[in-house]
Each structure stands twice: as structure tokens, then as C-alpha cells.
Amino acid sequence: MQMSLPENITNTLSTIENNGFCAYVVGGCVRDCLLGNPPIDFDICTNALPSDIIRIFDKTAPTGIKHGTVTVITENFPIEVTTFRTDGSYGDFRHPENVEFVNDLKTDLSRRDFTVNAMCYSKKDGLIDYFGGIEDLKNKTLRAVRDPDKRFKEDALRILRLFRFSSTLGFNIENKTYNAALKNASLLKNISAERIRAELEKLSCGICPEAILPLLQSENLSPLKADKRVSKIHLLPESPCLRFFSFLRLTSDDLSTALNFLKCSNSFKDYARKLDTALGLPYKTKPDMKRLLSLLEDNIFDMFDYKSCVCGCNTDSAKAKTEEIIKHQEPYKISQLDISGEDIIKKGYCGKNVGKKLEMLLSVVIEHPDINDRDKLLKLI
């Protein structure tokens, strides 16, 4: 069979082959092409040594040279090229302590995680599938390459990747692979919070986020817990922030604890905490909506989506009020007041009292928009 590859990938493969080596696109990019999904990136495996790749190409970076990976830069596009290898022991349950370069493609593919990720392709040799990846793609099945227990003990992150792929691809997990993943779930303690978060972010954007429930039930991702309502997350718009927030809100007793456990960014923490606060506030009247707009601004529509998709609430009336407020530019934040901090300072206030006065004026204007007049506001002070 023939696969359509980007020109820069085809040129990179040809360059390696023209220098006497073999080269293949490998892993997720092959899987995605076979599924008809556009790959996010392309990885290449080859029997050329890292020193050969550095010699062959004009622009490279030794990004993972210890493990045989050199990044080739073509047209400002990075392509990871890795030498066929076999891995040594995994002392940290994450990375091999050493690797040995080999000249055998099957040996290289046998160290990969799942059969659907252990296929490779070149125009010269076509699709190569030693472990039944094509059949598993047809059957929508995730299966570890060879011994699942060994695969997960080598790299515990593969446990999370298994459930992430089940969510994003909508695939079932083969029984031996499933049982081995849960058996080794305690090894997740060896994985950094940042890597766990990255997998959960991708999982929450999948079509079947409830795939993670068995892992959450094992309590090896504490403080996160199982909640069947995570199945509703896929009903939300394709907003990574909203979906990940929804996942954390549903699977944690305390959102702040979950945010800190996963070492989320400060910007996401701010987004999540404001949205969490807003979900506990009333949203019936126009003043209600103005207070929510003051807190959330554009993210107020994320609140509506959560209310309707996850909670099953009818938010049509609240949306209409919000859109009317925005359309008519009705004031709901301090910057929209017809008065400034300088005006309040001239009245003899200073420091924190200036902000407090502005907040007081805003609360009045939210209830009575007609008072948003400089002279009226100065009298209120």
C-alpha cells in the first residue's frame, strides 16, 4: 500500500536512503495515516547511526543523542530521527539506563508500546507490521507489543497512554493489556506530575474520557477519584481548557488540591478557580449575569457550556441576557465606570480604599445602570 506523506518527510527519507541506509516513518504518524487522521508530527527510524545523520544533513540538533535521536531541521520543521535500538534496564520505570544500536528493524519495533504504534512505512518497502497492528486497528483494539507486564514495567507512563489512546481513539483495551496496566498502576508514582497532566489533558479531549475510570478507581492517581459523569465531557465544545477543567472538577473533592497535584500553570489555575466559583453563583437576573461577566468575562460561555452539558441545565435565558449586556455595552466591570481612580483620589481617598470605592460603585451600577454617570457617582462617594 502507498501512504501520502508531506514532501519534507519524503525528502528526509530519500536523503537517508540515498546515503546507503534504510529509513521509515514510524509510530503514531503511521497509525493516524491509516485511520485517516492528519498526523501531528512524523518520527523516523533508521539503521543510520546518529553520527551518520549529523553528517548527512546540514541542520540538526542532538536532542536525544544518548538514546539515538537526532532532530533534523528541514524547512524550519523538526523531524526526530532515531537509530534502531534495543533498550537496557529501566531503573526509574520511565527511561532506559542505556541503549544498544542494532541493525534489525523488528528488534527496534518490538520495544514499542502498543501494536498500533509499532508499524512503520517507507515508499520503498511499503507498510511493515510485525505485531498485528493493522488487525488491531480494524478491530479498534489496544494491545501491548508482546508481554504487556514487561512493557508497563519498562515505562509506567505507558499505563496512562493506554487509557489516553482508549479515550482519543475510542478503542477497547485487550484483556491481558488491561489487566497488566491495572496490576502495575502503582508504578505511576514514578511519573512526574507534568507528564501525568499532559496525558490527562489529552485524555479529557477524547471521545471516550470515561476510559480512565478503572485507573481512577484503583486510587493510584490520588487525589483524583472516579466519577461516572466524566462521560459527559465529550459533549462539551472542543476547548482544551474547559474540558480539562471539567475533568478535574468532576474527579476531585478539592479543585485546588488537584491543580497543585498536577502542577498546573498559574494561568490555568486562575481560569479554573474563577470558573469553579462562578458555577456556585446565581445566574437568573441581569445583575447576576453582570457579576459573572465581571468575574469571567469571555469565559462566561464556558460556564454556560458546563451547566448545560455536564449539569443538564437550561441556560438559554442566561445566555440571552449576557448577549444583550454585551451588545448594549451595559457596564459590568470597573473600567466601564464613568469615573476613575484619580477622581476618587481627589476626594481624599488613597491606597486600598480607592479600589474599595470603585468596587462599591460597580456593585451599585450593576444593579442600577442609569447611575453610571460621573456626577452621580461622585455624589455617591
| Residue-wise pLDDT tens digits, 130-144 | 999 999 999 999 999
Distance CA 44, CA 118 (A): 12
Number of residues assigned to the chain: 381
Query: Residue 172 domain-assigned?
Result: no
Q: What percent of the chain has pLDDT over 90?
A: 83
Domain assignment of residue 240, yes or no: no
Mean of pLDDT values over 342-364? 88
| Claim to verify: residue 4 and residue 84 sit in the same structural domain | yes
pLDDT band at 353 (very low <50, low <70, confident <90, very high): confident
Is pLDDT larger for residue 94 or for residue 282? 282
Please compute the mean of the pLDDT values over residues 202-224 and round it to a whole number: 97
Q: Please give the model's pTM, rounded to 2 decimal places.
A: 0.91
Q: Assign 69 to helix, strand or coil.
A: strand
Confirm if 337 and 362 have CB atoms less than 8 A apart.
yes
Query: Would you say residue 202 lies in a domain?
Result: no
Domain count along the chain = 3
Q: Do 369 and 298 fall into the same domain?
A: no
Where does residue 279 rank: exposed (0-12), middle (13-18), buried (19+ CB within 10 A)? middle
CA-based nearest residue to 218, from 181, 170, 193, 169: 181
Same domain, 314 and 363: no
Residue 358 lies in a domain: yes
Q: Is the pLDDT of residue 1 over 80?
A: no
Same domain membership, residue 88 and residue 17 = yes
Residue 129 lies inside a defined structural domain of this protein: yes
Same domain? 347 vs 310: no
Whether residue 206 is contained in a domain is answered as no
Q: Cα 304 to the chain's mean position, in Å? A: 22
- Cβ-contact 346, 312 below 8 angstroms: no
Its domain, for residue 366, covers: 334-380
Beta strands 141-142 and 172-173 are parallel
299 and 365 in a common domain: no
Task: Among 139, 160, 190, identify where a domain stops.
Answer: 139
Contact between 49 and 42 (Cβ < 8 Å): no
Going by C-beta distance under 8 Å and a sequence separation of 6 or more, which residues neighbour residue 73? 57, 59, 60, 61, 79
| Position 119 pLDDT exceeds 80 | yes
Let me know whether 284 and 373 are in one domain. no
SS3 72: strand
User: How many Cα neighbours within 13 Å face the side chain of 205?
Assistant: 10
What CATH number is given to the structural domain containing 102?
3.30.460.10
Q: How confident is the model at residue 379 (pLDDT cuts 50, 70, 90)?
A: confident
* Residue 309 and residue 376 share a domain: no
Please tell me the predicted confidence (pLDDT) of residue 94. 61
- Other C-beta atoms lying within 10 Å of the C-beta of residue 34: 19
The pLDDT, as a whole number, for residue 363 is 92
